[in-house]
Chain A
Amino acid sequence: MPDESLDHFFDRLVSGEPISRRSVLRRMAASGIAVGSASAFLAACGGVEGSSSNKEEVDTSNVNHPKAPIGTLVFSNWPLYIDEKVIPGWEKANDAKMRYLEDYNDNEEFYAKVRQELEQGQGIGRDLVAPTDWMAGRWIDQGYAIPIDKKNVPNAKNLLPSLQNPPFDKNRDFTLPWQSGITGIGYDPTKTGRKLNSINDLFDPAFKGRVSMFSEWRDSAGLVMLGQGVDSSKATKAQCSAAIEKINEENEKGQIRRFTGNDYTKDLAAGNLWACVAWSGDLVQLKADNPNLEFLVPDDGGMSWSDNMLIPQGAKTPYGAETFMNYVYDPVAAGVIAEYVNYFCPVDGVQELVAKKNPELAKNQLIFPDQATLDKLYSYPSLSAADERELTAQMQKVTGA
C-alpha cells in the first residue's frame, strides 16, 4: 500500500524526528482502512458464487513436503511486524529469496481481497499469510490452508505451552503463531485522574466522550463479557450478543467517542482519548513517546490472541514456508523480532537470550508475561460461522454502519 508509507512519512513530519520503531506506530490503520478498502472493494464487486464446495476435511496425518529448491518465498504480514534484519539469515541458509509484503492490514479486508481466487481453487500469489486466530479458523474450515509438514519444523517444540492447543487448530496442524498480544485497556492516568483496574471503568460517566472501543466485536465484546463475569472463551452467542447490546447502550449515551481500528493510537497519543480498548504492543511503543500512558490487563481479565503463520492454498513452496517457520522459531531469530516488535513472543527461551542484552525489556510483562498475567488472559469465543456473522452484523449496526 503506497499510502501506508505516506502515512509514516506524515507522522515523521509531524513529530519532526527520523523514522524509527519508536516513533512509528505499528499498523497505522487510518490509511489501511481507507486505501486497502478501495482495492478490496473492487475485488469484492465481482461475483459472489458459493464456496461451500470447498469444505472438506483435510488429512493432516500424513503431510509430506520434501526438500526442494525454494526460489522466492512470498510472505504477507502486518505492517511493522518484523525486524527485516532477520530475513537475510534465512535467505543465506536456504539459498532462497523472500518477498516480504506488508499488505495484511485488516483480517476481513485481506480475506475479501483474496476470496475470489480462493473460492476458485487458485493460489493467491503468497506462500505465507498472517491471519489472527478467528480468521485462521475460517481459512482452515473453508479448506484454504495447507497443513504443515512438521518434520520440516523441528523448532516448533519451542512454542509456549499456553499456545499449543488453540480451539481453531487443536494440534497446530495448520498454523504457528507469529506474534501474540493482549487486548486490554490503554489509558492516561494524568487525564483520568485515577488508576483504573476494571473494564467497567471505561463506562465511568466522568470519561464521557473520551473512551473508544474497537469496531471489531471480538475484542470489544470479549472484554465487556469478562467485565460481566463471563468467560469469553466459553461464551455463548447470547452472551456475546448481550455484551454488544451493552456497548450499544453506552454508545447511545455518548460515552464512547469512536469505534476504531488501529487508529486509536493516534487519538490516545493526542489526548483525545483518556481510556480505550488497546493492544499491548501498541502501548509498549506509545509509552516510549509518552511515558504517562499505561497499559492495563484488567483484574476481570484481558483477551489474548495470536497472528498466525499459515500456508495458503496454492502456495508455490510449502517447504520454503516451513523452513522459514523453523527459522523464526529459533530463539535467536525470534529474539531479534521480539525486541523490535514489542508484542508478546510465542517462542520459549527468548526471554533468557534477551535478558543478556537488554534486561529492561526482558522484564516487560507485555512482551514476556509471567504466570500471574497469563492466568488473567482469555481467548476469543469459538462459535459457528453463522453465529459469528450475525454478531458481526449486530456490531456493525452499533458502530453506525
Chain B
Amino acid sequence: MSSSGEAAAPRSGGWLTLRRRKSLLPLALVIPGLLWLILFYAIPIVSQLWISLQTGNPDDGFAQTWNWAIYGDSISEYSEQMLRSLQYAGTATIACLIIGFPLAYFMAFKAGRWRNLFLLLVILPFFTSLIVRTVAWQTILTDDSWITNALKTVGLLPQDGRLLATSFAVIAGITYNFLPFMVLPLYASLERMDRTLVEAATDLYASRWTAFRKITLPLAGPGIFAGVLLTFIPAIGDYINAQLLGTSQQYMIGNVIQSQYLVVREYPTAAALSFIMMVVVLIIIAAAARLIGTKKLSEAAVA
C-alpha cells in the first residue's frame, strides 16, 4: 500500500479507506434502483402470490390455506378469455406492424422537412385520454353511422350486420390505441440506420427488394422487436377496448380480473389470474429473446 493511500484514510474518517470506498461505490450506486425494485416489484409480486393462495369470502375474510389448486381452476375456468386475449393482442400487434412499418419508413426516409410534423401527428392522440378516444370510436362505429351504411351498401357487411360490439371493433380499437407504441421504436431504429449500406448493396447489383430484405429489415430488427413487445404486452392486459367496443363475447382476461377484484371480490382468483398472465408474458418474451438473440434484445432495449 502506498503512503498516499495511508494518508487519505485518517482524513475520511478512520475505517473508510480508499480501497473500501472504491468497492462500496458501485453498491451505493445500485441501492436506489434496488430499493425501487424491491419496493414496487418484488414485494407486490410476493404479496400477490400470497393472496392468490388464500381461501375465504370478502365478508368474513380470507385466510391463508396454500390453495395451489386455484391456479389450475382459474386456467380451466377462464381459458376462453385467456386465449382470446392472446389472439386479439397478437392480431392487433400484427396489424400495428403492417400499418406502422410503412409509416415509420416514410417518416424516416421520405418525409424530409415534414418529419417533425408527422412525429407530432403520431404522438398527438396521447394528448387526449385513452377513454375519450375509445368512446369516440363508439360514436364513429354506431349502427347508423355512414361507415356502417357504406359497408352495407357495397356488400361487405350483411344488411343486419353491425360494426360496434364485435371482435372487429375490439381488435381495431386495440390496433388504433397502440399504434404509436409500434411506430416510435420502428422510426427510431430506421432513422439512425446508415443509408449508405443500401446504396452499397444496390451498387453491388442487389435489387431494391433484396436490399430492403437483406439490409433495411435486419437493421430495423431491434425496433421491430421493441415495437412488438411494447404493443403486445400491454394489449394482452387491456380491458378498455373490450369493455367499450365489445360485448360479453369479446371480454378479455383484463375484464375478468377487473370484475373479480371489484365486483365479485374474489381476490385470490383475481391475483392468480394476474400472476398467470404475468408468467405467460414472461415466457413469450423469453422465447422471443431466444429466437432473436439476447444481443438484439438488449439493443432493442436501448432503442
Interface residues of A (CB under 8 A from B): 2-3, 6-7, 9-10, 14, 30-31, 33-35, 37, 40-41, 44-52, 108-109, 112, 142, 209, 251, 257-259, 263, 266, 270-272, 385-386, 389, 392-393, 396, 398-401
Contacts and interface: CB of A to CB of B under 8 A. Distances in A.
13 contacts: A30-B131, A44-B267, A48-B54, A48-B58, A50-B56, A51-B60, A112-B261, A263-B244, A270-B143, A272-B144, A389-B58, A393-B264, A396-B263
A401 B248 contact: yes
Nearest to A108: B263
Contacts of B250: 400
Nearest to B133: A10
A37 B164 contact: no
B82 interface: no
A400 B255 contact: yes
A401 B259 contact: yes
B248 A398 contact: yes
A48 B61 contact: yes
A6 B135 CA distance: 11
A35 B22 CA distance: 48
Nearest to A273: B143
B42 interface: no
B264 A50 contact: no
B264 A389 contact: yes
Nearest to A142: B59
Contacts of A40: 261-262
B262 A30 contact: no
B196 interface: no
B14 to A, nearest CB: 44
B138 interface: yes
Nearest to A257: B165
B62 A41 contact: no
Contacts of A108: 262-263, 265
A10 B138 CA distance: 12
Interface in B160-198: 160, 162, 164-165
Given A3-B129, A52-B60, A401-B258, A272 B164 contact: yes
B278 to A, nearest CB: 13
B267 A385 contact: no
Given A7-B131, A48-B267, A399-B248, A272 B262 contact: no
Contacts of A112: 261-262, 265
B132 A109 contact: no
A10 B143 contact: no
B69 interface: no
Contact of A270 (B63, B81, B144): B144
Contact of A400 (B139, B165, B247, B265): B247
Contacts of A109: 262
Contacts of B132: 3, 6-7, 9-10, 31
Contact of A47 (B47, B128, B162, B165): B47
Interface string B51-88: 10010111111110000000000000000010000000
B143 A52 contact: no
A263 B56 CA distance: 33
Interface centre among B48, B58, B81, B260, by most chain A C-beta atoms within 10 angstroms, is B58
A30 B244 contact: yes
B251 A400 contact: yes
A266 to B, nearest CB: 7
A112 B261 CA distance: 8
B248 A251 contact: yes
B38 to A, nearest CB: 17
Closest 9 CB pairs of A and B: A50-B61, A400-B248, A401-B259, A400-B251, A270-B142, A401-B255, A48-B267, A52-B60, A385-B59
Nearest to B128: A6
A30 B243 CA distance: 9
Contact of B243 (A10, A33, A272, A396): A33
Given A7-B135, A258-B247, A37 B258 contact: yes
B44 to A, nearest CB: 7
Contacts of B224: none
A7 B130 CA distance: 11
Nearest to A46: B47
B57 A389 contact: yes
A41 B258 contact: yes
A401 B256 contact: yes
A49 B270 CA distance: 15
B240 interface: yes
A97 B239 CA distance: 39
B243 A34 contact: yes
A48 B262 contact: no
Given A34-B244, A51-B60, 4 more contacts: A7-B131, A41-B261, A112-B261, A401-B251
Contacts of B136: 10
Interface string B134-150: 01101100111000000
A386 B162 CA distance: 40
Nearest to B268: A48
B135 A396 contact: no
A271 B144 contact: yes
A6 B251 contact: no
A257 B247 contact: yes
A14 B267 contact: no
Contacts of A263: 244
A209 B162 contact: yes
Contacts of B251: 399-401
Given A50-B61, A257-B165, A270-B143, A45 B265 contact: no
A33 B47 CA distance: 26
